[in-house]
Structure 1
């Protein structure tokens, strides 16, 4: 009797999750989305009629955008410090450090409308990329 109960228990443990997943999936495929009387509208897993495509942004793009916002809210020095911390903590970002620092330099000139004031925040992050961005923006 004990072995029969174990066998039944094992069978249920294997079959029950599959049944639950399939029944839940099938229940979702027949949901009317527009009106209660819309019989022809069915949820499908097709990308043919998708209106938007989700885009995955690279980590360096997310970091750049976050630091540019931080520069606007605070100052370039804070953003440069966080850039250095990010590249130290995640070496894969180091390849994009110069590009991000130049973008910060350009944004600092745009914010302060002064090369001299923007240059005053320069730090030894990514060599001279921040300074290059500042000077490049002044022309």
Structure 2
């Protein structure tokens, strides 16, 4: 008899927690006061939480600012001067200067054509602007 009781006890010890967890889960999801409409379920999981945006890298902010200046009609030579001033003011941007200058060169070709865009070349970041122009022309 003790052998059978132990066997039943072991079986219950394995099965009972599973049954309790499942019945508890079902009980919680089926409570009568819970509003189970899809709109309520979505809003519960997608609350309007203010999550601060990740700060943008300084070089991305600078490139966007300079591209905006160029698109608003500022002469590429002036924009390149602004790039040089920013790099002089913030030496940490030096590694990104050539990439920004190339992007400005490509944008200048789209706005002015290759010949006129090349006429705005300045010795900013070596010849990166000119290589941007050349890649588009």
TM-score by length of 1: 0.61
Q: How does 1:85-100 map to 2 (within 5 A)?
A: 85-100=85-100
- The CA deviation at 1:49 is 3.6
Task: Give CA-to-partner distance per residue, 1:43-75, whole Å, 9 cap, x none.
Answer: xxxxx7466862321000000000011112211
Task: Give CA-to-partner distance per residue, 1:90-130, whole Å, 9 cap, x none.
Answer: 00001100000000000000111x21100000000000000
CA distance in 1, matches of 2:54, 2:121: 33
CA contact (8 A) 1:70 1:78 kept: no
Which of these two proteins has the greater Rg computed from alpha carbons?
Answer: 2
CA distance in 1, matches of 2:132, 2:47: 40
Distance 1:49 1:70, change over 3 A: same
- 1:57 is paired with a residue whose SS is coil
**Partner residue in 1 for 2:119:** 120
CA contact (8 A) 1:118 1:134 kept: yes
- The CA deviation at 1:81 is 0.1
Unaligned runs of 5+ in 2: 1-39
Distance 1:116 1:50, change over 3 A: farther
Unaligned runs of 5+ in 1: 1-39, 41-47
CA distance in 1, matches of 2:62, 2:71: 14
CA distance in 1, matches of 2:118, 2:46: 50
Corresponding residue pairs, total: 92
- 1:108 is paired with a residue whose SS is helix
Q: Calculate the aligned-residue CA RMSD, in Å.
A: 2.2
CA distance in 1, matches of 2:127, 2:47: 45
Task: Give CA-to-partner distance per residue, 1:25-58, whole Å, 9 cap, x none.
Answer: xxxxxxxxxxxxxxx9xxxxxxx74668623210
- 1:133 is paired with a residue whose SS is helix
